[in-house]
Amino acid sequence: MSAVESELRLARRRDARRIANLSRDLIETGLGWSWTPKRVERAISDSETLGLVAETRIEIVGFGLMEFHTNHAHLTLFAVREAHQRRGLGTRMLEWMTESARTAGCDRIVLEVRSTNEGAQRFYERAGYASEKTLPGYYDGKEAAVRMVNDLIDPAVAEQKP
């Protein structure tokens, strides 16, 4: 594996600090640090949460956390390090997590993204997500979120529809 190639694996509790630091720097910039190492560690330990990391020989370069609920999954954290963006890694990670949500029987994935984060919104749209609504003040009263939804239609069922 070269220095830029990455492997996907399940997150471990000892990844919590590195994931939390990346969340602070890549996702929560300008907001309070809500995904602290403790919170990330709790999420990784939770049996209803899937934690994924992308790792090169050197470091963690991408990560995602997804909570499973009765009928839907909630993508709570997701990012790729800047130097590794626009190379398909985000797509690879999202496909992995989407497949897990399908396997868990979820019929949709929901997420919130900062209203100012247009790049991420384009990324999710390309992956099949649609904006559902704006949530004013979602981030600690400081910034709105856009809720985006991906309906996981079973391709076999979709094909049967006229």
Contact residues for ligand COA, defined by CB under 6 A: 26-27, 78-80, 85-91, 111, 113, 117, 119-120, 122-123, 126
Residue 24 vs 159, nearer CB to ligand COA: 24
Nearer to ligand COA, 140 or 154 (CB): 140
Angstrom distance (rounded) from CA 115 to CA 123: 14
- How far apart CA 2 and CA 108 sit, in angstroms, is 35
C-alpha span between 117 and 162 (Å, rounded): 37
Name which of 4 and 154 has its Cβ closer to ligand COA. 4
Of 73, 84, 69, whose CA–CA distance to 4 is shortest? 84
Query: How does DSSP classify residue 131?
Result: E
Q: Which helix (H) or strand (E) holds 53?
A: strand 49-55
- Least Å distance, CB 111 to ligand COA, is 6
Angle at 110 between CA 104 and CA 115, to 5 degrees: 160
| CA–CA gap between residue 30 and residue 103 (Å, rounded) | 36
Q: Compare residues 105 and 137 and give the one whose CB is closer to ligand COA.
A: 137
Nearest approach, Cβ of residue 46 and ligand COA (Å): 19
Quick one: 82 or 154, whose CB is closer to ligand COA?
82
CB of 92 to ligand COA, least distance (A): 7
Smallest separation (angstroms) from ligand COA to the CB of 56? 14
Identify each DSSP E strand in the chain by its residue range: 7-10, 49-55, 60-68, 72-80, 108-114, 130-139, 143-151
The least CB distance from residue 120 to ligand COA, in Å, is 4
